[in-house]
Chain A
């Protein structure tokens, strides 16, 4: 008698599902710990559009971890990172943070880099009542009002307005005072917010807006936009743009001979050494935001030692070689968390949050005191002016004298050149 072994499709599917389930379970199963490290979890943009900055931030965070572990760790425990790449995709973030908290059982969490990647983690973190140190999120807490949220970018207590406050203060101090302004924004998150703040300042001051447009995100050719701005003949030109757009606009402004008295504002990219080298002398005179530059007025305790370590670690990693813009702040947000945990003496999230609220922290980015909404209590968004930039010399940007700090007065390192082109 011949017997036939038949595998029904249903059984085949069941086997497949079980095998997949087993494989997944083995991947997600918690691994037994040899020691008992203090685990800090986060997602980071290690691939995708923000990968360059995300990787630089991770280098800075690892330097902090090494520094802390060399000094004996936190609460006598060695610090360990558990992190996953969020691919600069907000939809990845909720899953990652629940895994960090429920599967990896991390002790503390900090944010990824950027507004879009910070927001999706907020409901999860809030539900658990965790302290959430955040890295460069613009006004995220405006909607959530979470009292354990702290943001390290020095935008100020009213982030969207404080961002451009210095630009307008400088402009209105000049004689004769400017009367007209052109506003241009790249069509994406940060740029729109920055220009919206500038628009409010212009209205408050009474400047006449003679041009107010957006241009598509990632637009390859911005010459026609700059031509229209030049035709508007405004005294001030305030731009909100991303690296590609910023480079294009600076080049176009030079080619077309823009005659404005002040030009710049919220151009992302002009803070990065690679772009600075690429643009060279075309940058001269531009007044733009920044967070840290190698001027003597910003020589905070530990910052140079940190940058020295960063610049060694960054070699060959495809990230900004000097690390002035984001890395010191990526170090500082962990520095604050670490200091608070040490001061409180345990991981009680309520006490840690209370301590952070009431304390002024001495960090590599200077003294940091948070406002009630978790933003810096006072803005320290710098307005810097490029000066005496020579062609084809990347090293010059790692020294003082090329980005003069004009605002705020507490860290001012020189006077404005006005109009921006002589």
Chain B
């Protein structure tokens, strides 16, 4: 029954998104929503590894940029259809995720986190020195004139990102609710104990890192067509990495809907701040909210709500 409700919600969200493109003319809402959805995909992807498995990834921007630059390269070399290039970008980022999974054989905790950061730095150096990808100077990506059944290209990008967000959320929900999810939780709680109990920890970690990589790559894949100019500074931006961690932390890392809530709250606040106060305020907002939640509500908004619910239940029973 619960499964049905979720899938009904998925259909409703997709239909509503499509109706949104047909009923709303104001392009600003598509740009703003696209950014929020991009953050949502990154947050959900980060949480699959960081929240479910307990392996903290500081190199989110590296996976994002790999997706973005794969698109740049494919578009330049072959000019393939957008969905094909997106799938290839996601696959390559997934393969990088698989590689990161093998790193976790030897590295745990803070050392694993530092290794992921190092991977992002290595990728950035490669891009900086790749003339084909535009190097440090950056490169242009011209949006195609055709936008399928949509009125303009941003509506197409919005719809695509909505689809990726829905798939990422569905996969995250499946991982969290399934036997696989229990295995991931066992790895998070005590990897040695889980191994002794017969949990295939390596296999689970590889699934987790690969899935994380795929979705981060998918989130980055549309970025070149969104901004039309990609350079290493924006593709490997600090804000991307920080948001990927902050959104699940603020929403709650223990459940699949935590990062979704965190991404919607933080994303909307950031987009509002951009056009009301200052874009630079974004990092400050993220910082303040992150510190606030970590110190006062370490289980995020979901945790706050569960505490509130338990308190009400206690009062009613008393």
Contacts and interface: CB of A to CB of B under 8 A. Distances in A.
A192 B228 contact: no
B28 A98 contact: yes
A375 B153 CA distance: 28
A84 B136 contact: no
Contacts of B275: 27-28, 84, 95-96, 99
B279 A47 contact: yes
Contact of A122 (B223, B228, B271, B279): B228
A205 to B, nearest CB: 23
Contacts of A98: 26-28, 30-31, 154
Interface in B30-52: 30-32, 35
A13 B223 CA distance: 29
A103 interface: yes
B75 interface: no
A142 to B, nearest CB: 8
A120 B237 contact: no
A29 to B, nearest CB: 12
Interface string B294-318: 0000000000010001000000100
Nearest to B125: A216
Contacts of B21: none
A187 interface: yes
Interface stretch (B77-85, B104-112, B138-146, B179-187): B138-146
Interface in B136-165: 136-138, 140, 142-143, 152-154
Interface in B254-285: 261, 264-265, 268, 271-272, 274-276, 278-280, 282
Q: Tell which of A23, A48, A87 has the most Cβ of chain B within 10 Å.
A: A87
**Secondary structure class of chain B's binding surface, majority of residues:** helix
Contacts of B226: 91, 94
Nearest to A122: B228
Q: Tell which of B231, B233, B261, B316 has the most Cβ of chain A within 10 Å.
A: B233
B17 interface: no
A201 interface: no
A89 B28 contact: no
Interface string B229-242: 10101100101000
A127 interface: yes
Given A17-B264, A119-B229, A189-B136, A24 B128 contact: no
Nearest to B227: A120
**Secondary structure class of chain A's binding surface, majority of residues:** helix
A193 B140 CA distance: 14
A146 B138 CA distance: 20
B27 A27 contact: no
Contacts of A72: none
Interface string A221-251: 0000000000000000000000000000000
A9 to B, nearest CB: 7
A66 B161 CA distance: 43
A20 to B, nearest CB: 5
A189 B137 contact: yes
A27 to B, nearest CB: 6
A217 B136 contact: yes
Nearest to A48: B280
A47 B237 contact: no
B186 to A, nearest CB: 26
A226 B278 CA distance: 40
Given A20-B268, A87-B278, A103 B142 contact: no
Given A95-B271, A119-B227, 19 more contacts: A28-B28, A46-B278, A47-B279, A48-B279, A48-B280, A85-B280, A89-B239, A91-B35, A91-B226, A91-B237, A94-B228, A98-B26, A99-B28, A101-B28, A120-B227, A123-B142, A124-B27, A187-B135, A189-B136
Interface of A: 4, 9, 12-13, 16-17, 20, 23-24, 27-28, 46-48, 84-87, 89-96, 98-99, 101-103, 115-116, 119-120, 122-124, 127, 143-144, 187-190, 192-193, 214, 217
Instruction: List the 7 closest A-B pairs by CB distance, nearest first.
Output: A47-B280, A87-B279, A119-B229, A98-B28, A95-B31, A143-B140, A187-B136
